[in-house]
Amino acid sequence: MNLPLEPFRIKTVEPIHLVDRQTREKLIREAGFNVFRIPAESIFIDLLTDSGTSAMSDYQWAGIMMGDESYAGSRNFYHLQETVKQIMGFEFLLPTHQGRAAENILFSTVLKKGDVVPNNIHFDTTRANVEYIGATALDCVIDEGLHPEVEHPFKGNMDAEKLNAAIRKYGAEQIPLVSVTLTNNSGGGQPVSMENIRQISRICREHSIPFFFDAARFAENAYFIKLREKEFQNTPVKEIVREMFSYADGCWVSAKKDGLVNIGGFIALKDEALFQKLQNLLILREGFPTYGGLAGRDLEALARGLQDVLQEEYLHYRIEHTAYLGNLLIDAGIPIVKPIGGHAVYIDVKKFLPNIPQSMFPGQALTVALYREGGIRGVEIGSLMFAAKDPQTGEWHYPELELVRLAIPRRVYTVSHLTYVAEILSAIAKNRNQLKGLRLVYEPPFLRHFTAILKEVEL
């Protein structure tokens, strides 16, 4: 039997509904062909994101009742601090309300205009937070990571040569930190190997550049290391996690992923001087250092979520569950990024819809079809999210990858739900030549995919 067996049973249920086709048609038009603008109650299977959409365990819900809502010195903060120290080895903790607040506080403190931040691939909020300061977000993923059809066990790895070239070009003084995203979300949820982490940290140390992880999906990354890196096949995941973080100076985490909570984030660090500086900004932007933008109960749910996520039975199921959907799509001849990532299946839209040019947002066109046909919400990670106009020439640059991500919330959807998604995609594949392109009607100055309004156009 190849079914991913859930290591939990269901104690609370949340009804979901498939609204009729006519209503879906009306809603997608009213939303300006942007699935971010559709009310979630009219979505049947929501694969927009795995962020903040996890189901919490009874252990976490019990922790919610143990919230200590003191303004200063909440016991839940100490529990979280102790848990992060135990799991990641970092002494200093700054809780934030979510990942991008952590990025903002860290980058506003350490970056200045003209600096450069190498990463494997920056996630969109990370890139936006770097660029907002006037610094450059430089993607240095290995070439394999840019080619959806190329199989590589660790396609999230950073290319050491690209990093060295950046250090030669800009000089270490212009690179206040190097970051590696675990797993590499914008490149297909692909993991980074321990060997690569060691290598990148060595380069950073040689040049005295602080090395950070964007560690939203650190547990999934660690499980892939166990599965795919021979040296670690018998190592407990907790030890793998400890070793991963031992090579870094710090990390920022959107806890809405592997923290298994609906809201939360943090920065964790080794350096006390940097911690002090960040703390001042934390107080200004998020709140007192022992709650930092979260309620005491949220801190407790997070401390417990970080323990839950490292259970190997859970991680085994999690990776298999995602692979289950990916394999159904492969069997149906739908091109996806390979190997299948940890938190999502990514459809390779350049291959799936070759007749729609990137200037007409083919990825977005597929998200529209998913909603129309099945009430399913996925997200475009392609030309709508990343295409940029050259300020000098006015020419558009389109991203190498044009993907639609089907992100899988943790412990939420069953095997039947995923089977339904694969069936809808197979139906779309049969009529793919009828899909229309899109044109922008409204776009904000940055992070435009969230609020853009589009119009369908004939090819």
User: Contact residues for ligand F0G (CB under 6 A)?
Assistant: 49, 51, 98-100, 123, 125-126, 181, 185, 214, 216, 254, 256, 265, 407
**Residue 95: CB minimum distance to ligand F0G, A:** 12
Query: Closer to ligand F0G at the Cβ: 66 or 447?
Result: 447
**Residue 38 near residue 377, CB atoms below 8 Å:** yes
Query: Closer to ligand F0G at the Cβ: 100 or 297?
Result: 100
Does 71 participate in catalysis according to the annotation? yes
Query: Closer to ligand F0G at the Cβ: 101 or 360?
Result: 101
Contact residues for 253 (Cβ-Cβ < 8 A; gap 6+): 99, 102, 214, 215, 216, 218, 259, 265, 266, 267, 268
**Residue 20: CB minimum distance to ligand F0G, A:** 28
Catalytic position from the list 46, 124, 298, 348: 124
**Residue 338: CB minimum distance to ligand F0G, A:** 20
Catalytic position from the list 122, 257, 321, 343: 257
**Residue 97: CB minimum distance to ligand F0G, A:** 8
Report phi then psi at 38, rounded to 5.
Answer: -90, 135
CA distance 245 to 251: 8
**Residue 195: CB minimum distance to ligand F0G, A:** 21
User: Can you spell out the DSSP letters for 161-208?
Assistant: HHHHHHHHHH-GGG---EEEESSBGGGTSB---HHHHHHHHHHHHHTT
**Residue 249 near residue 210, CB atoms below 8 Å:** yes
CA distance 315 to 324: 14
Query: Closer to ligand F0G at the Cβ: 74 or 221?
Result: 221
**Residue 2: CB minimum distance to ligand F0G, A:** 27
Does 308 participate in catalysis according to the annotation? no
Catalytic position from the list 101, 102, 135, 216: 216
Catalytic position from the list 123, 291, 324, 352: 123
Does 216 participate in catalysis according to the annotation? yes
- Cis ω before 191 (30° cut-off from 0): no
Report phi then psi at 320, rounded to 5.
Answer: -65, -35
Query: Closer to ligand F0G at the Cβ: 186 or 356?
Result: 186
Q: Residue 52, Cβ neighbours under 10 Å: how many?
A: 16
Query: Closer to ligand F0G at the Cβ: 68 or 377?
Result: 377
Does 124 participate in catalysis according to the annotation? yes
Nearest residue relative to ligand F0G (C-beta): 99
What radius of gyration do the chain's Cα atoms show? 21
Question: Using alpha carbons only, what angle is made at residue 377 by residues 266 and 59, rounded to the nearest 5 degrees?
Answer: 45
The catalytic site residues sit at 71, 123-124, 214, 216, 257, 449
